[in-house]
Amino acid sequence: MSEATKVEAAYGAEQIQVLEGLEPVRKRPGMYIGTTGPRGLHHLVYEVVDNSVDEALAGHCDRILVALNDDGSCLVTDNGRGIPTDIHPRTGRSALETVLTVLHAGGKFGSGGYKVSGGLHGVGISVVNALSEWVEVTVHRHDQVHRQRFERGLPIGTLRSEPGEPGEQGRTGTTVCFKPDIEIFSGGIEFDYATLSARLRELAYLNGGVRIVFRDQRTAALGENGEPHEEVYFYEGGIKEYVAYINAQKDPLHPNIIYVNAEKDGVQVEAALQWCVDAYSDSILGFANNIRTVDGGTHIEGLKTVLTRTLNAFAKKRGKRKDADANLAGENIREGLTAVLSVKVPEPEFEGQTKTKLGNTEVRGIVDSLVGEALGEFLEFNPSVIDLILEKAIQAFNAAEAARRARELVRRKSVLESSTLPGKLADCSSRDPSESEIYIVEGDSAGGSAKQGRDRRFQAILPLRGKILNIEKTDDAKIYKNSEIQALITGLGLGIKGEEFDTKSLRYHRIVIMTDADVDGAHIRTLLLTFFYRYQKSLIEGGYIYIACPPLYKVERGKNHTYCYNESDLRKTLDGFGEKANYTIQRFKGLGEMMPKQLWETTMDPTTRTMKRVEVEDALEADRIFTILMGDKVAPRREFIETHSAELDMAQLDI
């Protein structure tokens, strides 16, 4: 009998694996939380907090506390109704134990517990339980305190109940404390304060009137007086305050934020809009049941449609456009717009691989109807506001026409024509974008070393002369007339700003920014990142942008040498030599100082190099920081630098 036949013969019912309870979650955690890296780790907190927010949506909770503890655990407590503790008729166990140990058990399915739910597309607290070393739940309900502990998904004992403390009569709520399992999150279980802070602040904006307290009581975060670091997020104005926060460093075109809050057919629509003078792109944040819909959806489509129709109607009504004139395009009308749109849908349908696109077709019409009615009423009573918005939109339309003519020049020129890229692009021989990469370097000196040191088969080099335009404060017409920007657009195959990005036109799937390790290099790197973020954000979201990490030092001792990539590397290397050893240190201030072979060995060889991939964890914060650092206003930039300079070792600043 052959080996293959033996295997087939042994395949029977006994080989079929049946996973009980929460075993599937521990076996395949990525299926439930996406990844066991940092994003999945923080998702556990969001799942628990979502339960508290759902109580707030139902009108039963207005205070939530999130605390990070020294032992690596996270505590979430609220003043909601408390998880039910009576016996569940189907499981024969307490409802609390059922919710913690049975997948998809909860009050969010059917018409029982919640009208709308923020965590419906999520995986529930049972998955948090499965992926934690331990979970302790405390429920205050009916003047009783109920407690139960779980370890790696399994209940330890049964639910314990006792009378509440004196003075706590009437107290209700749930407290969940959990410690992620290091066996699952092998990369570490340390929560990042900034990551959690951004999401909790966002939730507070989206649920006006709910007070969220975020406390870091880990030893490293304690103040001089031993008090934990604490922030309170409480915004009675809700998303109106959210828009004000986003636009804090911009010049609003109109001081009053346009606000809509209405309901139709069970769908609640809340929108806040404000146009700014000093912005050349729009910033629209969409949410469905508190979930950030980064891929848009029917609610965003409805908003864009009604904005275009309403403002074009007002343009004719106010005599700004004649009947024979072409309508203003949607992107013209939205230029400079900051908008937050939040919908609450009883039965949300999410699409896309990451489940971040709303698919409910009925929502498009509901948003169109409700926003159109409120927007029309506001503009009727505020004629000066509509005139300002229309003037900006018409300027954008005229600039777009000039940009279109400039774009046509770009479109007509082939990437390989010398008139487009006069001797700048040293292309690779491969025509497969998935294996090709391009290094964007500053100046001819660094470009020369990179061209000689590269692997010509898959590595292309594009040297830039000087500092490119800061497109944060440049209109489209000027962008397309700039030769360095043209070189980037055509050399990389970036297409046209504002049009949907087609990855098939991208000529390289790794775009590497390689600049000198000094102030000028950092500035050029920032200008390039600003260009990619504002011109074609999809490049960053798709993971195509990288930053090269060349060494800062070369330490030679005898015939041996070591490259050091930061100050810490240098200290470790020198400490390893022992006292007054003989060595020499070379500081690389520019890539042009490195020999081609050195540049290849340290920075460009895929087998030895280190590169950082650029990602956007928080689009709102990224947008705000780009505005501060690259916008017109000097005062916010100065304040930002002064505030954050304390976090840097200023003695090491290379000026």
pLDDT per residue as tens digits for the range 116-147: 666 544 468 999 999 999 999 999 998 999 99
- Give mean pLDDT, residues 169-180: 94
Q: Where are the beta strands (DSSP E) in 37-172?
A: 63-68, 74-78, 132-141, 144-151, 154-163
Cβ-contact 313, 378 below 8 angstroms: no
Fold of the CATH domain 23-233: Heat Shock Protein 90 (3.30.565)
Determine which of 12-16, 66-70, 383-387 has the lowest per-residue pLDDT on average. Answer: 12-16
Indicate the class that CATH gives domain 413-550+612-616.
alpha beta
Helix (H) or strand (E) holding 563: strand 560-564
Please give the pLDDT value at position 653: 46
What single DSSP character describes residue 528?
H
Cα(603)–Cα(609) distance, rounded to whole angstroms? 5
Burial profile 158-180: b = 16 or more Cβ within 10 angstroms, e = fewer: ebeeeeeeeeeeeebbbbbbbbb
What residues are labeled active site?
442, 516, 518, 520
What is residue 19's three-state secondary structure? coil
Owner of token pair 């709303």: 358
Alpha carbon separation from 285 to 174, 211, 303, 564, 634 (Å, rounded): 31, 22, 11, 42, 26
Cα(545)–Cα(612) distance, rounded to whole angstroms? 9
Cα(645)–Cα(591) distance, rounded to whole angstroms? 27
- Give me 120's structure tokens: 């419906």
Cβ-contact 65, 119 below 8 angstroms: no
Task: Identify which of 173-187, 583-597, 604-618 has the greatest average pLDDT.
Answer: 173-187
Cα(373)–Cα(109) distance, rounded to whole angstroms? 33
CATH of domain 239-396: 3.30.230.10
* In the chain, where the domains are located: 23-233, 239-396, 413-550+612-616, 553-587, 624-655
Cα(77)–Cα(83) distance, rounded to whole angstroms? 12
* Segment 624-648, tens digit of pLDDT: 788 888 877 788 888 877 776 655 5
Q: How confident is the model at residue 110 (pLDDT cuts 50, 70, 90)?
A: very low
Cα(647)–Cα(541) distance, rounded to whole angstroms? 28
- Give me 379's structure tokens: 């503009």
Q: How confident is the model at residue 333 (pLDDT cuts 50, 70, 90)?
A: very high
Pick from 514, 582, 522, 571: nearest CA to 548:
514
> Does residue 6 surpass a pLDDT of 50?
no
Tell me how crowded residue 504 is: count the other CB atoms within 10 A of its CB: 7
Residue 28's identity, in one-letter code, is R
Cβ-contact 245, 238 below 8 angstroms: no
- Give me 389's structure tokens: 């918005």
- Give me 385's structure tokens: 């506001």
Cβ-contact 306, 333 below 8 angstroms: no
- Angle at which helices 383-412 and 483-492 pack, to 10 degrees? 70
Task: Identify which of 88-97, 236-245, 274-283, 534-543 has the greatest average pLDDT.
Answer: 236-245
What is residue 483's three-state secondary structure? helix
- Give mean pLDDT, residues 569-579: 85
Q: What is the mean pLDDT of the chain?
A: 85
Residue 428's identity, in one-letter code, is C
Q: Where are the beta strands (DSSP E) in 40-197?
A: 63-68, 74-78, 132-141, 144-151, 154-163, 173-180
Cβ-contact 197, 216 below 8 angstroms: no
- Give mean pLDDT, residues 182-210: 93
pTM of the model: 0.71
Cα(491)–Cα(421) distance, rounded to whole angstroms? 8
Choose between 282 and 112: higher pLDDT: 282
Q: Residue 298 contacts by C-beta under 8 Å, 6 or more apart in sequence?
A: 358, 359, 360, 361, 362, 363, 364, 367
Cα(518)–Cα(429) distance, rounded to whole angstroms? 32
